Structure 1
Amino acid sequence: MSETVISPETKDVDSPSSNDNEVFESPTMEYTEMMKADSPNDNEALKSPTTMEDPEMKDESPSNNKEGSKSLVPETKIDSPSSNANKVVLRPSMMETFRTCVLSGVRIDKEDLKKKLTMPQYLRHAMRDCIRFQDPTAMSRHISGKDADDVVSPETPMVVFINTRSGGRHGPVLKERLKQLMSEEQVFDLQDVKPHEFIEYGLGCLEMLISLGDPHAKEARERMRIMVAGGDGTVGWVLGCLTELHKKGREPVPPVGIIPLGTGNDLSRSFNWGGSFPFSWKSAINRSLSRASTGPIRLLDSWRVSLSMPEGTTVETPHSLKRSKELTLDEGLEVGGEVPDEVNCYEGVFYNYFSIGMDAQVAYGFHNLRNEKPYLANGPITNKIIYSGYSCTQGWFFTPCSSDPSLSGLRNILRMHVKRVDCSEWEKIPVPQSVRAIVALNLHSYGSGRNPWGQLKPEYMERRGFVEAQSDDGLLEIFGLKQGWHASFVMVELISAKHIAQAAAIRLEIRGGEWKDAYMQMDGEPWKQPLNKKKSTFVEIKREPFQSIMISGEQN
């Protein structure tokens, strides 16, 4: 799914990938926080249809109170502006969520939270001016503020980036709520301030003040944490910009948490921030910021895709792929086609997955349809229905009966080589004839929370030479999807995908034949790759040297 692009002018290394049409879904309501609404306006959450009595819901309760026994919370009465006795009756599938909230939910005082997150006023204003004038020295008139008697360094200074075009009509409202919980200078609308501008000028301002001996700036720089309100594309955009701190030796790099506003939200799911934005969002924001201030730190691998094609090839690349210098190929590696003398090269980074084949072809068709007729794809449910329909029209469900060579397999892949963990030698891996798509996956979560790699048994992993998949293990899980029916069963987790390999690096050699194009996608951004019948195109995937630093949403 494609995320809203903020502006055409920002399609450079700092532009977001478009893998999420970022809109609010209707997830499980946060019942405990509704009962503990921290302001009168929070009762807006009670307008959900599930707050009315529902006889069917009562019948599905885990306990019918037989022999005097009672369920944990059989019925809960909630006062609301419109009724004094609206009932919430929990479905069995909601009981664990409710029980967790009851046991671990603590009312969060907004004033205490604000003190914990808000930087001193002079620092906020100094950073604001440096970003506004794009000059890290434009803070001179605020320097004297550090000597004020009432200046106190916060426990966890927080900065939030929000894509206000995400989440439908709620984006601007969410931004205002965030400003109330810290300060407006610490909430950055990505339509106005880009992540690289904050890093260069905002953090540059703090670093300049540190060089002048400011202790509060030093504490703010060292303790800072970042929250990103958006989908996976927005999160990847911010993470990519923060990588520059590693490259330039400007440590520490602030860790990043997530407020999920997208449709897929696989990064958010992988780091325990949830798969969608809660309906009772006001109290959820308080909780998210509180958890972000104390959450444990985890690491995330990122992977660089290098694409080398014969010179003269015209390709419409996605936002995440940029022109680069010529790539050097391993001369000792077996090549199946003719190596072009002159090449065009592109590079990009992904955090979740890269794929080639039928799944990318379906995504490409859906992407074009949505761009041509945006009124057809105006919400997550509609998107998924259209996407499923497009899978059928593309023929993925009928590949065994089709004579179309583009559907009959991945025969345009001449060679696939991988490097195993702690091994410098390339190993040739056969491409199974039955697969129509190959995916290289970095996270546990794919396609809105699915795990196509599956939970493998220890004896199977030992036999195949696999290790347990982690987001920071330096390995990609490579698997294949067959026809559409197989992919459907994989996505509902009835079966696992076809396991091909675990790899620390991948190289594909592809060439045209009866088919003129290959379809690829990277973190949900699809493109059509033209192929040459004589000269090969190469795709190489290697891990980036710097890992991203993430905040886990799990409770300590």
Structure 2
Amino acid sequence: MDSPKSAGDSSTARIVVRSSMMDSIRACGLSGLAGVRIDKEELRRRLLMPQYLRLAMQDSIRKKDVDGGDQHFLSRGSDDVPYPESPMVVFINPRSGGRHGLVLKERLQQLISEEQVFDLQDVKPHEFVRYGLACLEKWANNGDFCAKEIRENIRVVVAGGDGTVGWVLGCLGELHQKGREPVPPVAIIPLGTGNDLSRSFGWGGSFPFSWKSAIKRTLQRATSGPICRLDSWLVVLQMPGGEVVDPPHSLKATEECCLDQSSYDVEFQIQMGKSCPRLQTLEIVGDVPDKVNCYEGVFYNYFSIGMDAQVAYGFHHLRNEKPYLAQGPISNKIIYSSYSCTQGWFLTPCISDPGLRGLKNILRIHIKRVNCSEWEQVPVPKSVRAIVALNLHSYGSGRNPWGNLKPEYLEKKGFVEAHADDGLLEIFGLKQGWHTSFVMVELISAKHIAQASSIRLEIRGGEWKDAFMQMDGEPWKQPMSKDYSTFVEIKRVPFQSLMVSGE
């Protein structure tokens, strides 16, 4: 595993959480480009690909065939075709945030071209990777110099929320897996509600009201911003039969589970009456069923289990049932806060069966610490009702629940300073709603539990019928068994994503 604190690598991805107002200003380049007039035609010249390449990529994607745009190369005319300095494509999610995407899409198409701005309802990012980029690669290998230069220098802008950004990053990850490098770096136009990924890399918490004048500055910054690195994390879920309820698009069913096999070694040795001191902490509490179902997904900011995911799940359903309520980030946050009050996060500890309160009743946590191959069990605090594994410093619309910890505290706890590219997740707990409210306004920090390079969760229902989980703001309902354990394992993806800094 890479060193968790390599000064050369991690210095490029230091995360500083800014206020929403300052984030928005910097996101649009107003601080660095204030007073600088950006000529529309000059910007378009820098971004616009030659027509034959745009049409070839478009046809390849539309036909889902790498060869689908060959006719445009054959009729391109002169071999000496100028290529753009900063080729760029934009993915836009018109459903994100306040749903202003359609208007923004038209503006972007005017500034660049229709073929370089993709509506995610029409073109999925994996289609762009498998057919659009592959079309460029094919003709670059066939000697087309323009295609070669564009493929090597192309950047991607995502206009959407954290879930949309993660979707695009995940699809670009296919390039790593198949050795199709370089991987395009990603810039962000924040259209979602929380926009924590956007905040973390300097693109702001929301796009400003004066977006028409800001969009040129945003594109300008996306062409020249420095490149940062971002860890991503694979979630492997194994459950005893059944199916996940309303799984997010980032969580896919798979035929095989890639769980750490040491758990099965322990179970086998227990059944054989043997001991295994090194791995004894992974003894399984529930029985192992004959049939299991498996899911996999990737997150970039956080994974959580418990009450926060339950509130998010209900809010998402409410917004989908009544889309007229989703008029923008501010109204979304107001509705979200109000909805959380109806779900029992504030009052349940006083009125409910004690067996249905904290996660301690259903959850066991094992972790691997940095540069350690052995699993270690960590206790679940009694009062905790939500547990979060966090990669960034920004959570819940720019909050920093882990806190800016003092060096002496870090040393006492055996922690290190947290960064987005350090190969570690910060694990913390949230108690009842009152505690969470104070954490979110940063009067106090969350309940620190551990830092880990890998995490194993074992959940067994007891009196609980369902648990709620979420990855980067995409929640789902997880069925639970009284007799059999459900496992969630989180481990770092071996390659890092590339982000364009908006600072």
TM-score interval, smaller chain: 0.7 to 0.9
Matched, 1:181 2:111: yes
What corresponds to 1:524 in structure 2?
A: 473
Distance 1:156 1:504, change over 3 A: same
* Residue 473 (structure 1) aligns with: 422
The answer (yes or no) to whether the contact 1:30–1:279 under 8 Å persists in 2 is no
Query: Scaled by the length of structure 1, what TM-score is found?
Result: 0.79
1:521-549 Cα deviation digits (max 9, x unpaired): 22112222222112111111111122111
TM-score, scaled relative to structure 2: 0.86
1:334 aligns with 2:283: yes
8 Å CA contact retained: 2:22, 2:204: no
What is the aligned partner in structure 2 of residue 493 from structure 1?
A: 442
Ranked by relative contact order (alpha carbons within 8 Å, sequence separation 6 or more), the top structure is 2
1:232 is matched with 162
Q: Which residue matches 1:207?
A: 137
Task: Report the count of equivalent residues.
Answer: 465
1:259 and 2:208 correspond: no
8 Å CA contact 1:273, 1:553 repeated in 2: yes
Q: State, as a whole percentage, how many aligned pairs show the same letter.
A: 74
Distance 1:425 1:401 in 2: 39
Instruction: Judge conservation of contact 2:57–2:69 (CA < 8 Å) in 1.
Output: yes
**1:414 shift after superposition:** 4.1
Cα deviation, residue 341, structure 1: 2.8
Residue matched to 2:219: 289
Tell whether the 8 Å contact from 1:29 to 1:280 is kept in structure 2 after alignment: no
Equivalent residue number for residue 310 of structure 2: 361
Taking a change above 3 Å as real, the CA distance of residues 297 and 119 of structure 1, as seen in their structure-2 partners, is same
Distance of aligned partners of 1:199 and 1:387 in 2 relative to their CA distance in 1, 3 Å threshold: same
In the alignment, structure 1 residue 411 sits paired with structure 2 residue 411: no
Give, in angstroms, the shift of residue 239 of structure 1: 0.8
Moved more, 297-306 or 516-525: 516-525
What is the letter of the counterpart of residue 472 of structure 2? D
Q: Structure 2: which 5+ runs fail to align?
A: 1-19, 267-281
Secondary structure of the residue aligned to 1:411 is: helix
How many angstroms does 1:210 deviate by?
Answer: 1.3
Residue 13 (structure 1) aligns with: none
Choose which of 56, 65, 83 in structure 2 pairs with 1:135: 65
Q: Which of 290, 295, 300 is residue 346 of structure 1 equivalent to?
A: 295
Deviation at 1:202, TM superposition (A): 1.2
4+ residue runs of structure 1 moved beyond 6 angstroms? Answer: 96-100
Q: By how many angstroms is 1:319 displaced?
A: 2.7
CA distance in 1, matches of 2:79, 2:29: 45
* CA distance in structure 1 between the aligned counterparts of 2:27 and 2:151, rounded to whole angstroms: 36
Alignment of 1:333-482 (within 5 A): 333-405=282-354, 407-482=356-431
Aligned letter for 1:250? R
Q: Is the 8 A contact 1:376 1:382 kept in 2?
A: yes
- Deviation, structure 1 residue 120: 1.8
Q: Does the CA contact (< 8 Å) of 1:358 and 1:407 recur in 2?
A: no
Deviation at 1:416, TM superposition (A): 0.8
**Aligned pair partner of 1:268 in 178, 198, 201:** 198
Report deviation, 1:489.
0.4
CA gap 1:120/1:518 in 2 versus in 1, 3 angstroms: same
After TM superposition, give the deviation of residue 243 of structure 1 in Å: 0.9
Larger radius of gyration: 1
Is the CA contact (8 Å cut-off) linking 2:88 and 2:157 kept in structure 1?
yes
SS in structure 2 at match of 1:440: strand
SS at match of 1:227: strand
For residues 502-517 of structure 1, the aligned pairs below 5 Å read 502-517=451-466
C-alpha RMSD over aligned residues: 2.5
1:205–1:334 Cα change, 3 Å: same
Question: Who is 1:118 aligned against?
Answer: 48
Q: Displacement of 1:462 after TM fit?
A: 1.2
Letter in 2 for 1:445: S
SS in 2 for 1:534: coil
SS of the residue aligned with 2:359? coil
The answer on whether the counterparts of 1:335 and 1:415 sit within 8 Å (CA) in structure 2 is: no
Counterparts of 1:452 and 1:234, CA distance in 2: 23
Distance 1:372 1:170 in 2: 19
1:154 corresponds, among 80, 84, 92, to 84
The Cα of 1:147 is off from its aligned counterpart by 5.4
Distance 1:508 1:97 in 2: 37
